[in-house]
C-alpha cells in the first residue's frame, strides 16, 4: 500500500526572526516594569517584617519597665524646654541605659556595627539627591545586625530636645545590600513630635526620608495621597 503525505509547510527564517524581534520588543517594554515591581515587593515585605519585629520589641520593653506603651516613656521629659532637656537626660540616664540594654537583648543579634564600621557604607536621601553615609543616621554608634539580615540601631532618648522623643533607625536588608536609601530600605522610627520630611519634590538634604516611616506603614504616597507609597517608589 502506498501512502501519500501532504507536504507540511514550516516557518521561514524571516518569519522566525520577525517573531523573535516582536518578543524582544515586548520584553524590553515590560521587563523593567516587572523588575521594579519585584524590587518594590521585596522592599515592602522586608519593611513590614522588620517593623513588626521592632514594634513587638518596643512593646515588650515598655511592659518590662511598667509602661502601657512605648510612647509613654516620652512623659519623662514632657513639657520641658530645650535648655532643660540635658538635665532631664542626665537625671534618667541610668534608666535609659537599662531600657536600651533590655531592648537590645530582645533581638537575635549576630553582629554589632559601630562608628568606625559604618562610615564606609553609602546612604542617600528619599529624593536620591543627597548622598551621605551611615554615620549620619540616628543611633549610628551601635547598629545591631540581626539573623534575618536587617539592622537596627540602639535607642536615642530626646537627642536634641524634648520634641525629639525616642528614636531608632533600621535598615530592612542591612548596609551590605542596596539601595541604602531613606524611605526604601532605611527608616527612622520616632516617638516625638518634630517635623519629619518625606518628599520626592525637594532635596531636603539628609533629613529627607526621616519622615517616611508612617507613610510606608500606611501605604500612602507622601506627595500624592491618592496613590500608594510602595507602588510609587520607582
Number of H helices, E strands in the chain: 5, 8
* pTM of the complete model: 0.85
The predicted pLDDT at position 24 comes to 62
The predicted pLDDT at position 95 comes to 97
pLDDT higher than threshold 70 for residue 58? yes
**216: three-class secondary structure by DSSP:** helix
Burial per residue of 69-91, b for 16 or more beta-carbon CB atoms within 10 angstroms, e otherwise: ebeebbebbeebeeeebeebbee
CB 185 within 8 A of CB 174: no
State the helix-helix crossing angle for 93-105 and 13-64, rounded to 10 degrees. Answer: 130
Query: Integer distance in angstroms from the first to the last C-alpha of the chain?
Result: 68
- What's the total number of domains in the chain? 1
Beta bridge partners of 153: 143
**26: three-class secondary structure by DSSP:** helix
Residue-number span of the structural domain to which 123 is assigned: 14-232
Give the tens place of pLDDT for each residue, 167-225: 999 999 999 998 999 999 999 999 988 878 999 999 999 999 999 999 999 999 999 99
Give the tens place of pLDDT for each residue, 105-126: 999 999 999 877 888 899 999 9
pLDDT higher than threshold 80 for residue 14? no
pLDDT higher than threshold 90 for residue 2? no
Residue 2 lies in a domain: no
The predicted pLDDT at position 150 comes to 97
Residue 204 lies in a domain: yes
CB 215 within 8 A of CB 229: yes
Residue 91 lies in a domain: yes
Whether the link from the prior residue into 156 is cis, omega within 30° of 0, is: no
How many residues are recorded in the chain?
234
Residue 9 lies in a domain: no
Which one, of 62, 84, 83, lies nearest residue 73 by Cα? 62
Task: Tell me the DSSP string of 88-127.
Answer: HHHHTHHHHHHHHHHHHHTS-EEEEE-HHHHTTSEEE-TT
The predicted pLDDT at position 30 comes to 59
CB 75 within 8 A of CB 62: no
Burial per residue of 6-31, b for 16 or more beta-carbon CB atoms within 10 angstroms, e otherwise: eeeeeeeeeeeeeeeeeeeeeeeeee
Q: Tell me the pLDDT band of 130, cut-offs 50, 70 and 90.
A: very high
Residue 8 lies in a domain: no
Give the tens place of pLDDT for each residue, 17-47: 666 666 666 656 555 666 678 889 999 999 9
Write down the mean pLDDT value for the chain. 89
The predicted pLDDT at position 193 comes to 83
d(CA 98, CA 215): 31
Residue 3 lies in a domain: no
Residue 152 lies in a domain: yes
Residue 6 lies in a domain: no
Amino acid at each position: 500500500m502506498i501512502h501519500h503525505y501532504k507536504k507540511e509547510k514550516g516557518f521561514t527564517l524571516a518569519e522566525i526572526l520577525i517573531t523573535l524581534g516582536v518578543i524582544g520588543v515586548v520584553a524590553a517594554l515590560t521587563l523593567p516594569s516587572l523588575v521594579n515591581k519585584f524590587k518594590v515587593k521585596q522592599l515592602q515585605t522586608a519593611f513590614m517584617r522588620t517593623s513588626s519585629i521592632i514594634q513587638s520589641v518596643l512593646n515588650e520593653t515598655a511592659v518590662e519597665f511598667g509602661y502601657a506603651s512605648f510612647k509613654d516613656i516620652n512623659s519623662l521629659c514632657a513639657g520641658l524646654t530645650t535648655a532643660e532637656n540635658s538635665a532631664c537626660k542626665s537625671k534618667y540616664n541610668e534608666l535609659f541605659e537599662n531600657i536600651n540594654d533590655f531592648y537590645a537583648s530582645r533581638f537575635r543579634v549576630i553582629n554589632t556595627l559601630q562608628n568606625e564600621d559604618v562610615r564606609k557604607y553609602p546612604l542617600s536621601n528619599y529624593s536620591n539627591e543627597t548622598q551621605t553615609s551611615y554615620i549620619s543616621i540616628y543611633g549610628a554608634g551601635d547598629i545591631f545586625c540581626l539573623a534575618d539580615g536587617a539592622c537596627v540601631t540602639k535607642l536615642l532618648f530626646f537627642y536634641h530636645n524634648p520634641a525629639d522623643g525616642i528614636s531608632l533607625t533600621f535598615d530592612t536588608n542591612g548596609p551590605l545590600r542596596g539601595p541604602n536609601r531613606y524611605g526604601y530600605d532605611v527608616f527612622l522610627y520616632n516617638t516625638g513630635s518634630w517635623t519629619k520630611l518625606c518628599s520626592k519634590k525637594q532635596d531636603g538634604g539628609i533629613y529627607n526620608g526621616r519622615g517616611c516611616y508612617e507613610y510606608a506603614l500606611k501605604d500612602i504616597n507622601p506627595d500624592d495621597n491618592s496613590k500608594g507609597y510602595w507602588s510609587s517608589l520607582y
